[in-house]
Structure 1
Amino acid sequence: MKNKWKLLLSVILVVGLLAGCGSGGNTSSGSANSGDSDKADKGGKAETVNLKVFIAQPRLKEQYDKYIADFIAKEKAEKNIDVKVQLEMPNADNAPQILKTRLASNDAPDVFSLHAVNEVPTFYKAGYLEDLSSQPFVSTLLDSVKPSVTYDDKVVAVPLETLSWGYLYNKQVFSDLGLAPPTTLTEMKAVVEKLKENNITPFVLSYQEAWIPQLFLPLAVGAMTETGNADFVDRMYNDNGSFSEMKAMFDIIDLVNANGTDKALEVSGDDGAAAFATGKGAMWIQGPWYAETILKSNPDFEFGVAPLPINDNPDATLINLSTSTSLAVSPTSKHKEVALDLVNYILDENDSSDFFQSLKFNPLATVHTFDSYPWVNDATEYVKAGKSYQDPRIPQAVKDEVGKGLQSYFANQMSQDDVINALDKAWKDFNKVNK
């Protein structure tokens, strides 16, 4: 009898240990793909999920921190999941390489930002993007926005920023001097001279971060391909073109650089925003995505958005239309259900309008109830008049190269031909890897 009891106790002990091992090994990762929310007992102990989020907009950290905190509270209240978010926000110069390294080494963030126009095709082909087509947010996207985050007939990201941009100008200065945004390069030269006659520096220059001078490239290529040489981008993807065809872009680049604020290579984007907001330059080659930072420096500042003249053809003076920062979900996420909850919350019916307003982003979904900003309305007038183009599909690697190349050009370390050769090589190198 004693031996029978010993045997029974041994069996019970083994069964107990096996049960413990079976439940303890998958606490926050094992059921991610089958649904993290299924694991949480709403009436019992909350499950903890650690979510890695990667967004390359450090200047907007305060706004993201608040919205993510709201998301965490919502997940706890509705699903009894304790979400711990590790938010990584590198600057725009370093972010692309950091993210590509993570993705290639199987260390992908659960949710990450990417540029819809520049990066979605490459990331999709590499298998880095979860198909989000069946997610609730998709039905709320405006018809004008949805195509920019769609590839291979699948919605693969939730958009954050839709852009209508060219350059920014100080409305008060232009009004005081009776100036209107110029429609040709010759008119821009006249505006520059008028500003200088009145002791006003025409342009704020802020080239410390390479992504800022690269803005000249999409503006120039977009305008030039819209009014001639329409197949330039397609030919570049087929190794059948050269940026020597775009050499005229240096006309506006040189004009801006010769009539701007000092020490451009030492001035960051944030410093440039403060300089522009405090009247140190009348124009800034920058987009309205810096609106929040500008108005933080000077809440009463009035700025407008206008298309940048590239040459003396007024038909080439056009607004760039784009969707840039968007959020994707990694197919390898171990917490996919929570990651999907987060991207859907980005366009939450009740909360996202306040979030987008705090970021100074444009409304882009039917759930957004706020009015467009004055600078958006400025750009929209050009768009309504047919004076716009879709952001050209230039590989991010090429944009990175032109940013560095123009920094060297401004420092007199590279010639125009050097920059052109570097761009041609960067695109050919991209083609080799992505064909």
Structure 2
Amino acid sequence: MDVRKIWKGLTGSVLTAVLLAGCGANAGTNDAEGGSSAGNTATLKMFIALPRLKEHYDKYIEQFKAKMKAEKNIDVTVQLEMPPSDNAAQILKTRLASNDAPDVFALHAVNEIPSFYKAGYLEDLSNQPFVDKLLDSVKPSVTTTDGKIVAVPMETLSWGYLYNKKIFEEQGITPPTTLTEMKAAVDKLKAANITPFEISYKEAWIPQLFLPLAAGATINTGDKDFVERMNSDQGSFSEIKASLFGIMDLVNANGTDRALEVGGDDGAAAFAAGKAAMWVQGPWYAETILKSNPDLDFGVAPLPINDDPNATMIDLSTSTSLAVSSSSKNKELALDFINYVLDDQDSSEFYQALKFNPVAKTHTYESYPWVNDAMEYVKVGKSYQDPAIPQAVKDEAGKALQSYYAGQMSQDDVIAALDKAWKSFNKVNK
């Protein structure tokens, strides 16, 4: 989903490989500003808000450049921009609206494809070769309401919270199925001098995770038309207030210190080191966690939000997806890259290195243990599709829940801010 991330400001990464193929008339020129190609050179602009995975994207882009040189005799320069997730959405929207669009950009499939497509920013990819490779279970997440496929999925997710299997086993704890059971697990951990939860709220998108978990579980156990009513200004987040703050208050009261000073990477390192037994976070941090501690045995379980075990469910989503700008000045090359993302020979190694789930029929690697943990819940019907909450609302939730943790906003203040954010979204998108 997403989705998901380091500090404020803009962290750019420019991958350069400009090798002009000789001198004279055949050398051509490079129009870097426009991203167009001339002769045997071309510039491709990419915008992917996953700086923690930079080394893997760097490597794959280098392979793409070698492929373009070998097959089309084009020397490619890739300008890769990797801002943190907290402000990436706003940066991207500004670029798209000001005719400064990257050729290829990442967006959240569930949260952003509908509004980006409506605004005319997305190239129709329905006839591209990669489409036939997509798993049937994944294809709908990058398909518009009128049947157009507009992105190649990267991250498919099955998530709730992460837990340290060794700690759970040593303490005789199994993943709780209700909020009361979670409180008992917390008490047992504290009695053993183990911190129950890692908390890392420095980046606003992290506390925001409580919102889709609480909303998704509530929607799928009774309040099924919540999103539709919010889209028509007929609902309120007060309907999920108890589900949202019941679990968040428990986490906040039983977690690591200085949460507003700890970002995602530091949280991953602390969780990897066994500083806490649980982390309300998704497996998209698996690569970072295992880089810190390759031997860590962790699992994924659904987060209880109340005392109804039927509401303790896994959130299923497709977050990070790659799209091509409809206004790209180097569209052919952008389409070449999009198709290379699911290349028959190279894609499996790329996705496996990223610790992403298989999304294509040509992906040959085995699913990871934590994926299998989550799928056990899915197999018995304990899952739901990530609720379609507008990104602007999620962004507001992140900031509001940071303020709530700091004691600067009450629960009612948070609810009012979220309701206002959704109504503002409706005004712009009607």
TM-score normalised according to structure 2 size: 0.92
Q: Deviations over 1:271-315 (max 9, x none)?
A: 000000001100000000000000011010000000000000000
Measure how far apart 1:246 and its partner are.
1.0
Residues 86 and 204, structure 2, Cα contact 8 Å, conserved in 1: yes
Query: What does 1:331-370 align with in structure 2 at a 5 Å threshold?
Result: 331-370=326-365
Report whether the alignment pairs 1:214 with 2:208.
yes
Measure how far apart 1:178 and its partner are.
1.0
Say which SS state the counterpart of residue 94 (structure 1) adopts.
helix
Say which SS state the counterpart of residue 93 (structure 1) adopts.
helix
Say which SS state the counterpart of residue 101 (structure 2) adopts.
coil
Query: What does 1:328-407 align with in structure 2 at a 5 Å threshold?
Result: 328-407=323-402
Say which SS state the counterpart of residue 86 (structure 2) adopts.
coil
Aligned counterpart in structure 2 of residue 120 of structure 1, from 100, 108, 113: 113
Measure how far apart 1:29 and its partner are.
9.5
Query: What does 1:45-194 align with in structure 2 at a 5 Å threshold?
Result: 47-151=40-144, 152-194=146-188
* Distance in 2 between residues matched to 1:79 and 1:123, nearest whole Å: 32
Match of 1:297 in 2: 292
**Over aligned residues, Cα RMSD in angstroms?**
1.8
Task: Give aligned-pair identity as a percent.
Answer: 75
Q: Which amino acid aligns with 1:89?
A: M
Q: Deviations over 1:378-412 (max 9, x none)?
A: 00100001000000000000000000000000000
Residues 163 and 277, structure 2, Cα contact 8 Å, conserved in 1: yes
Identify unmatched segments of 5+ residues in structure 1: 1-19, 40-45
* Distance in 2 between residues matched to 1:352 and 1:259, nearest whole Å: 41
Residues 28 and 48, structure 1, Cα contact 8 Å, conserved in 2: no
Measure how far apart 1:31 and its partner are.
11
Match of 1:417 in 2: 412
* Distance in 1 between residues matched to 2:98 and 2:329, nearest whole Å: 16
Measure how far apart 1:28 and its partner are.
8.1
Report whether the alignment pairs 1:203 with 2:197.
yes
Say which SS state the counterpart of residue 337 (structure 1) adopts.
helix
Aligned length: 404
* Distance in 1 between residues matched to 2:401 and 2:132, nearest whole Å: 41
Match of 1:223 in 2: 217
Residues 35 and 42, structure 2, Cα contact 8 Å, conserved in 1: no
* Distance in 2 between residues matched to 1:296 and 1:25, nearest whole Å: 41
Measure how far apart 1:24 and its partner are.
7.7
* Distance in 1 between residues matched to 2:303 and 2:379, nearest whole Å: 17
Say which SS state the counterpart of residue 228 (structure 1) adopts.
coil
Measure how far apart 1:26 and its partner are.
9.3
Residues 51 and 84, structure 2, Cα contact 8 Å, conserved in 1: yes
Report whether the alignment pairs 1:318 with 2:322.
no
* Greater gyration radius: 1
* Distance in 2 between residues matched to 1:259 and 1:98, nearest whole Å: 35
Gap change, CA 1:398 and 1:31, over 3 Å in 2: closer
* Distance in 2 between residues matched to 1:198 and 1:25, nearest whole Å: 67
Measure how far apart 1:25 and its partner are.
9.0
Q: Which amino acid aligns with 1:272?
A: G
* Distance in 2 between residues matched to 1:324 and 1:300, nearest whole Å: 27
Say which SS state the counterpart of residue 75 (structure 1) adopts.
helix
* Distance in 1 between residues matched to 2:223 and 2:33, nearest whole Å: 52
Q: Which amino acid aligns with 1:75?
A: M
Q: Which amino acid aligns with 1:61?
A: K
* Distance in 1 between residues matched to 2:364 and 2:28, nearest whole Å: 46
Residues 28 and 47, structure 1, Cα contact 8 Å, conserved in 2: no
Gap change, CA 1:137 and 1:400, over 3 Å in 2: same
Gap change, CA 1:85 and 1:401, over 3 Å in 2: same
Residues 27 and 47, structure 1, Cα contact 8 Å, conserved in 2: no
Q: Deviations over 1:110-161 (max 9, x none)?
A: 0000000000000000000000000000000000000000002000000000
Say which SS state the counterpart of residue 233 (structure 1) adopts.
helix
Identify unmatched segments of 5+ residues in structure 2: 1-23
* Distance in 1 between residues matched to 2:31 and 2:137, nearest whole Å: 42
Residues 214 and 403, structure 1, Cα contact 8 Å, conserved in 2: yes
Measure how far apart 1:27 and its partner are.
7.1
TM-score normalised according to structure 1 size: 0.91
Gap change, CA 1:27 and 1:415, over 3 Å in 2: closer
Q: Which amino acid aligns with 1:384?
A: K
Q: Deviations over 1:212-242 (max 9, x none)?
A: 0000000000000000111011100000011
Measure how far apart 1:92 and its partner are.
0.5
Structure number with the higher helix fraction is 1
Match of 1:243 in 2: 237
* Distance in 1 between residues matched to 2:29 and 2:314, nearest whole Å: 55
* Distance in 2 between residues matched to 1:364 and 1:191, nearest whole Å: 35
Measure how far apart 1:30 and its partner are.
9.6
Say which SS state the counterpart of residue 255 (structure 2) adopts.
coil
Match of 1:254 in 2: 249
Gap change, CA 1:31 and 1:65, over 3 Å in 2: closer
